Structure 1
Amino acid sequence: MHDDKNKPVLELCAVSKAYANRHVLSNLSYTLAAGEYVAIMGDSGVGKSTLLNLIAGLDAPDSGDIRLNGLALTGDDDEAATALRRRFLGFIFQAFHVLPHLTLLQNVSLPLLLNGLPLERAAVMLASVGLQGREQDFPFQLSGGELQRVAIARALVHRPRLILADEPTGNLDPDTAEEILQLIRAEIKANAASAILVTHSQAAAATADKILLLDRYGLAPLTMERTP
Structure 2
Amino acid sequence: MSTPSTTPALEIVGARLELGDGDARVHALDDVSLRVDPGEIVAVVGPSGSGKSSLLAVAGALAKPDSGIVRVHGTDVTALAKSAATRFRLTTIGFVFQSGNLIAALTATDQLRLAARLAGNRTADPAALLGSVGMAHRADHRPDQLSGGERQRVGIARALVNDPSLLLVDEPTAALDRASSHDVVRLLAARAHEAGVAVVMVTHDHDVLEHCDRVLEMTDGRLGERVLAA
Q: TM-score normalised to the size of structure 2?
A: 0.88
Shift of 1:205: 2.1
Deviations 1:155-211 (A, max 9, x none): 112221111111100110111111111112112222111111111122222211111
Say how many residue pairs are matched: 222
**Aligned 8 A contact 2:124 2:161 in 1:** no
Alignment match, 1:172: 176
Distance 1:58 1:166 in 2: 14
* Amino acid aligned to 2:158: R
CA contact (8 A) 2:69 2:78 kept: yes
For 2:189, the equivalent position in structure 1 comes to: 185
Name the residue aligned to 2:34. 30
Which residue of structure 2 lines up, in the alignment, with residue 12 of structure 1? 12
Identity of aligned residues (%): 35
- One of 194, 213, 222 as aligned partner of 2:198: 194
Q: CA RMSD in A?
A: 1.9
Deviation at 1:115, TM superposition (A): 2.7
By relative contact order (CA 8 Å, sep 6+), the higher-ranking structure is 2
Q: Which residue number in structure 2 is paired with residue 93 of structure 1? A: 97
In 2 relative to 1, CA 109–18 (structure 1 residues): closer, same or farther, beyond 3 Å? Answer: same
Cα distance between partner residues in 1 of 2:196 and 2:37: 12
One-letter code aligned to 1:176: S
Residue 210 of structure 1 corresponds to which residue in structure 2?
214
- Aligned residues of 1:30 and 1:219 also touching (Cα < 8 A): no
- Summarize the Cα distance change of 1:53–1:62 in structure 2 as closer, same or farther, 3 Å threshold: same
1:220 aligns with 2:230: no
Partner of 1:159: 163
SS of equivalent residue, structure 2 residue 152: helix
1:40 aligns with 2:51: no
SS in 1 for 2:85: helix
TM-superposed CA distance for 1:122, in Å, is: 0.6
1:138-168 per-position Cα deviation (integer Å, ceiling 9, x unaligned): 1111111111111011111222111111110
Distance in 2 (CA, whole Å) between partners of 1:164 and 1:120 is 20
Cα offset, 1:31, TM superposition: 2.0
> Hey, what's the Cα distance between the residues in 2 that align with 1:120 and 1:30?
31
- C-alpha deviations, 1:26-82, integer Å up to 9, x for none? 121222223222111112210111210222233332222211122211125333333
Query: CA, structure 1 residues 113+221, in 2 after alignment: closer, same or farther (shift >3 Å)?
Result: farther
Q: How far, CA to CA, are the matches of 1:184 and 1:148 in structure 2?
A: 11
The residue aligned with 1:129 is: 133
TM-superposed CA distance for 1:123, in Å, is 0.8
Structure 1 pair 219–113 and aligned structure 2 pair: CA distance change class (3 A):
farther
Unpaired runs of 5+ residues, structure 1, are none
Q: Please point out which of 81, 85, 99 is paired with 2:85.
A: 81
Matched, 1:104 2:108: yes
**Residue 133 of structure 1: CA displacement?**
3.2
Greater mean deviation of Cα atoms: 85-94 or 111-120: 111-120
TM-score by length of 1: 0.89
Q: Does the Cα contact within 8 Å between 1:103 and 1:138 map onto a contact in 2?
A: yes
Segments of 5+ residues of structure 2 without an aligned counterpart are none
